[in-house]
Structure 1
């Protein structure tokens, strides 16, 4: 293999694929990125056996071929080369080493044969549809923070994506929950998504996908089966296994009869929560909200370091109520809200609270209270 390409193109593609590669691997080939040149492009591929990312980038191919080299090492080398430079990639006759040359710099990297590189065979997909990158990014951004990190409840370690009928319209819905909070977001269901199986996209796939959706104007092709998902974003193809489990019936935890309405200015509320929670302990980040006619008092007590209170004018006309929440969870939710005001629908100190964004009725959040 002998090819020349621009450093900026190579770096951009390596940046997309090398993140999939785990730093520590018991299987040496999984530490490598597959480089395959043919025609007028270089194809790069990386995998961790659950997730695979492939991207093609323009290149001048003198001699086609394929090999694999350490992914993080190649990325670090290319990253440190000067801007605007051209990079030569060439393997030796035996295919055991690859030269990376640019200007006066020259590196030699050990190769492993491309025949050893695993292929995440996709199989056939039952459903295929096209979705604007901005819509897909919105679904992820609004729900990702609520994904559980608890390995024992593995079926909560991702975002549940499915189609649902809502007010006579078919919606594509994303839901995530960790048992303490729940986030739900909807977009109009694209043509071809009708009847698709409900799928759970793993946390790592969600995180990588979020970074790849940097151009809102791109249209993403989504292909789905019971076990895998494949997303094509311009020149990038991402294939991932899905979580094999049953997502719980989340509708049961969304309260329908909460009758106490609290309206707050989102920014002032978030800043107040952030200020008083400075004093809270890392373990119990509880903040107490005491509501009385048009007034909210936020209180944090920490036996080790002291206490903090702050008052805030709010829209509340119900009976006096005291309820506690995890300050971090409150801040996570308020950071997702796009409007100036947020609406909290409350019932009592022990029941789940519903949070809505006044500027966007396509998302809602549920938050479990804490004892304070």
Structure 2
């Protein structure tokens, strides 16, 4: 195998591959990227047995072939090569080495046989549809902050993507929760997705998927089965196993009868929460919200370091209310708001609070209160 490629193109392909590879693994071949050169394209394939990413790039292929080499090592080498360099990769199968050359730089890397590389079995997908990158990005970006990191509740370690009944009919919905906060984001159902099975997309896959969604206008081909999900652009295919578990009935924790309505400038609110939380060394310290007519007072009391208080002008016309929240959770939810105003709906100081982005009902957030 021998081919040449521009450094920037090679770096993009290799960086996607090396981020999937697990740094610590007991199977040496899983640390490698499978490089396959044929015709005018080169494929870079990496896997951790749960996720597989395939990146295709145009190259000047002199001799077709395939081999595997350390993904992290190759990425580091290419990253440190000068901009604009033409990189040449040559495999010597007899010696079990691959040479990487660029200008006066020359590296010789150990290879492992391509036959040992595990390729993820292809699945029969029950639903295939196309979705704009901007739509998928919104669905996952706005929900992923609420993914649980608790390994014992493994079924919460991802984003639940499914078809559901929304406020305006059927919707493609992403939901994530860790028991303390919840995010529910809706989008229009793409053609072909109506019969899609509900799947829990793992946290790592959500992170890798983000790299495919940079171009707003790009169409992403999505395929879903009971056990796998695949996202594909013309250059990159990301295939992942889904979490084998049942996502809880989240609709039961979304309050329906919260009537106390607070409307506040989302940006000002987030900054104020961040400021008053500064006095607390613990990020989980409660921020107290004291609501009175058109007035909100945010306060934090930290016995070791001091107190902080800030007042905001808001739209609120209900009876007085005092309620506390984890500062970190409040900030993360406030930072999801793209619109100017955030609308909070309260019931009492002990009940879950609902948050929406202005009049938009396609994004709903729930946060549990804390005792203050």
TM-score band w.r.t. shorter chain: over 0.9
Q: CA deviation at 1:283?
A: 5.6
CA distance in 2, matches of 1:179, 1:360: 24
Q: CA deviation at 1:91?
A: 1.1
Secondary structure of the 2:26 match is coil
The answer as to 2:28 corresponding to 1:33 is no
Q: CA deviation at 1:269?
A: 1.0
Counterpart for residue 82 of structure 1: 82
Secondary structure of the 1:111 match is strand
After superposition, give the CA deviation of every residue in 1:73-99 in whole Å (9 maximum; x if it has no partner).
000101111111111111114150000
Given the superposition, is the C-alpha separation of residues 284 and 133 from structure 1 closer, same or farther in structure 2, using an over 3 Å criterion? closer
Q: CA deviation at 1:122?
A: 2.3
Q: CA deviation at 1:299?
A: 1.0
Q: CA deviation at 1:317?
A: 1.2
Given the superposition, is the C-alpha separation of residues 93 and 179 from structure 1 closer, same or farther in structure 2, using an over 3 Å criterion? closer
CA contact (8 A) 2:283 2:328 kept: no
CA contact (8 A) 1:199 1:226 kept: yes
The answer as to 2:112 corresponding to 1:118 is no
CA distance in 1, matches of 2:226, 2:202: 14
Secondary structure of the 1:15 match is helix
The within-5 A match list for 1:215-234 is 215-234=215-234
Given the superposition, is the C-alpha separation of residues 193 and 95 from structure 1 closer, same or farther in structure 2, using an over 3 Å criterion? farther
CA distance in 1, matches of 2:200, 2:27: 27
Counterpart for residue 181 of structure 1: 181
CA distance in 2, matches of 1:170, 1:284: 37
Given the superposition, is the C-alpha separation of residues 48 and 93 from structure 1 closer, same or farther in structure 2, using an over 3 Å criterion? closer
After superposition, give the CA deviation of every residue in 1:216-270 in whole Å (9 maximum; x if it has no partner).
1110000010000111122100100000000000000000001111111111111
Secondary structure of the 1:19 match is helix
CA contact (8 A) 2:295 2:311 kept: yes
Counterpart for residue 45 of structure 1: 45
CA contact (8 A) 1:51 1:238 kept: yes
Secondary structure of the 1:183 match is strand
Secondary structure of the 2:112 match is coil
The within-5 A match list for 1:80-229 is 80-94=80-94, 96-167=96-167, 169-229=169-229
Structure 2: runs of 5 or more not aligned: none
CA distance in 2, matches of 1:88, 1:339: 49
TM norm structure 2: 0.98
After superposition, give the CA deviation of every residue in 1:26-52 in whole Å (9 maximum; x if it has no partner).
110011000000011110000000000
Secondary structure of the 1:74 match is helix
Secondary structure of the 2:333 match is helix
Structure 1: runs of 5 or more not aligned: none
Counterpart for residue 58 of structure 1: 58
Q: CA deviation at 1:281?
A: 3.2
Counterpart for residue 280 of structure 1: 280
* Shift >2 Å, 4+ stretches: 165-169
TM norm structure 1: 0.98
CA contact (8 A) 1:16 1:212 kept: no
After superposition, give the CA deviation of every residue in 1:80-131 in whole Å (9 maximum; x if it has no partner).
1111111111111415000000110000000000000001112211110000
CA contact (8 A) 1:33 1:45 kept: yes
CA contact (8 A) 2:284 2:327 kept: no
> Which stretch of structure 1 is more off in the superposition, 246-255 or 292-301?
292-301
Given the superposition, is the C-alpha separation of residues 357 and 267 from structure 1 closer, same or farther in structure 2, using an over 3 Å criterion? same
Aligned CA RMSD, in angstroms, stands at: 1.1
Counterpart for residue 299 of structure 2: 299
CA contact (8 A) 2:343 2:355 kept: yes
Q: Aligned residue pairs: how many?
A: 372
Counterpart for residue 15 of structure 1: 15
CA contact (8 A) 1:95 1:111 kept: no
Secondary structure of the 2:73 match is helix
Given the superposition, is the C-alpha separation of residues 93 and 116 from structure 1 closer, same or farther in structure 2, using an over 3 Å criterion? closer
CA distance in 2, matches of 1:83, 1:319: 63
CA distance in 2, matches of 1:149, 1:308: 30
